[in-house]
Amino acid sequence: QKEVEQDPGPLSVPEGAIVSLNCTYSNSAFQYFMWYRQYSRKGPELLMYTYSSGNKEDGRFTAQVDKSSKYISLFIRDSQPSDSATYLCATHTSNTGKLIFGQGTTLQVKP
Amino acid sequence: DAGVIQSPRHEVTEMGQEVTLRCKPISGHDYLFWYRQTMMRGLELLIYFNNNVPIDDSGMPEDRFSAKMPNASFSTLKIQPSEPRDSAVYFCASSPRQGGNYGYTFGSGTRLTVV
B45: chain A residues, CB-CB within 8 Å: 98-100
- Check residue B40 and give its pLDDT: 87
Give the angle B1-B2-B8 at the CA atoms, nearest 5°.
Answer: 160
- Return residues 80-99 of A near B (CB < 8 Å): 88, 90-92, 96-99
- Check residue B100 and give its pLDDT: 62
A46 to chain B: closest CA residue: B103
CB contact under 8 A, B100 and A34: yes
Q: How confident is the model at residue B62 (pLDDT cuts 50, 70, 90)?
A: confident
In a mutational test of the B interface, the residue from A101, A105, A106 whose CB has the highest number of chain B CBs within 10 Å is: A101
CB contact under 8 A, A97 and B91: no
- Check residue A53 and give its pLDDT: 81
Q: What span, in angstroms and rounded, lies between the C-alpha atoms of A12 and A52?
A: 30
- Check residue A70 and give its pLDDT: 93
Residue B40's region, left for phi above 0, alpha for psi from -120 to 50, else beta, is: alpha
Cα–Cα nearest to A29, from A88, A94, A99: A94
B4: chain A residues, CB-CB within 8 Å: 43
Per-residue pLDDT of chain A (111 residues; tens, 9 = 90+): 789 999 888 999 999 999 999 999 998 888 889 999 999 999 999 999 888 788 999 999 999 999 999 999 999 999 999 999 999 999 987 777 788 999 999 999 999
* B102 pLDDT above the threshold of 80: no
* B1 pLDDT above the threshold of 80: no
Task: For chain B, give the mean pLDDT.
Answer: 93
Query: Is B43:B91 a contact under the CB 8 Å cutoff?
Result: yes
- Check residue A11 and give its pLDDT: 94
CA dihedral sign, ordered B41, A25, B91, A62: positive
3-class SS of residue A96? coil
* B27 pLDDT above the threshold of 90: yes
Please report how many Cα atoms fall inside a 13 Å half-sphere around the Cα of residue B2, on the Cβ side. Answer: 8
B101: chain A residues, CB-CB within 8 Å: 32, 49, 51
Residue A54's region, left for phi above 0, alpha for psi from -120 to 50, else beta, is: left
User: What is the nearest CA distance from A44 to chain B, expressed in angstroms?
Assistant: 6
- Check residue A97 and give its pLDDT: 73
10 Å CB burial of residue A7 (0-12, 13-18, 19+) is middle
